[in-house]
Structure 1
Amino acid sequence: MPMRARNQLVVDHLHIVGAATAYVASRLTHVSRDDLASAGAFALVRAAEKFDATLGVPFGAFARGRVNWALKDELRAMDWAPREVRVRAKATAKVRQTLTSALGRTPSVAEIAAAMGVDTATVREGLADAERMVTSLDAPDAPEIVWTGYLPEELAIASERDEFLRRAVDALPDRKRDVVRAIYFEDRTVTEIADELGVSHAAVSQQRAEGVRMLRDALDRHYADSPAVDAPPTSRSSASVLDAYFERLAEGGQRFTRAILSHAVGV
């Protein structure tokens, strides 16, 4: 691609870097906005260099993926917390997990404090530090912090995909559906959900992870280039559970189509 055209692509899509940086910085306050913006801008330039218009993918979608991954890499490289803060956070989280396993429920702050021999304020600080440690981004329960907005040319495709995804979430088994909705639609934390359900942090994370795997299988199946494609599922659920899930999803799609048609004809 000529240098002039590449530079124009970068200039026209700088808003992707700005929006993604602002979104991440609003979710993680202990990070450098300038460092994020620099990493995002470099990724945008690299995306323009690698972009191949003949593949039929809009540059906005291509660049956003590169920018998002660059921001994630930058976050993993950041070391905002002093060593003593990390030690306290990990120790507090470990005691909470141990008590959860022993009690069969999430322990209170007072119970964790008693087990550690510290005051409740110290425990609250340790738990808060554990929640926002950026190096936990690879953990199964890590929050999704990367901006996923759409450009105008992608809205039609995104709208259809979002509708299918919501139906796919609705069709999930009850507990997985509730956990996925709470985390991704209601912006609630794994800790809050665990406290509400009276289960361990790990149990909620496992439900979330398996729910996401089932959603990925549903998307792969729905958007496969050919019905004959039979890629192995990523879900760890049994074949019968997956088959039942796909049946519920198909029934939901039929109901959705009938509702749209009925509305169109004024029934």
Structure 2
Amino acid sequence: MTKMYNAQGKLSQSDVLTKYAPLVRRLGLQLVAKMPASVDLDDLIQAGMIGLMDAASRYKEDQGAQFETYASQRIRGAMLDELRANDWLPRSMRKTSREVESAVHKVEQSLGRSASETEIAEHMNMPLDEYQSMLQDLHGSQLIYYEDFDRSADDEPFLDRYCVDRSDPLSALLDDSLRGALIEAIDKLPEREKLLMSLYYERGLNLREIGAVMEVSESRVCQLHSQAVARLRTKLREQAWTSVEA
């Protein structure tokens, strides 16, 4: 194996970049595959390269761990920090999102089936076009927010109640139990919303492209996406998706 240490016993940054850049990309691909299509791989790789350089500057050959193992932890941590930093939505929009989710939950519990937009709008005492405008404003809403773990929020966040690994919420969100619960919840969506989520999260199409496939406007796709996200967040609450017993 080629030695990557300089005269001062430190790892050479140029050699580290050359040797471990593929590792950064591989970790980035593993992570982005579990994220919404809006997460940019290049941003994760850039953050991961910073994590790699940090690992190179801190690593000592005699500290016991292999460098690749040590660096992988630093790279992944830097990528998770990048995801945390980009998890934001104005508080007013979070409040609106919770109101929509609450309405969806109450109407669907009452009806025992997926609620239509008209039924949800009626429950919220607003015209359909006003409700659809609200969905439009929620464009960019995500299935999971880091603020879901914030105990200072108005009500107890559902993920905080059920997340096993509270030291690293995102790692817990990527586990098999959540993926299984999410697959089950998506399968119960109305057909159009199910198709939309498949095109967006599995096929990686943007809203304009999805609109072309579904033969609706981009703004209508945006509304349907926000509606689907509200339904899914409601279902995840109901399913208490980890193995923790309520």
Task: Tell me the TM-score normalized by structure 1.
Answer: 0.46
Higher helix share: 1
Q: TM-score, normalised by structure 2?
A: 0.49
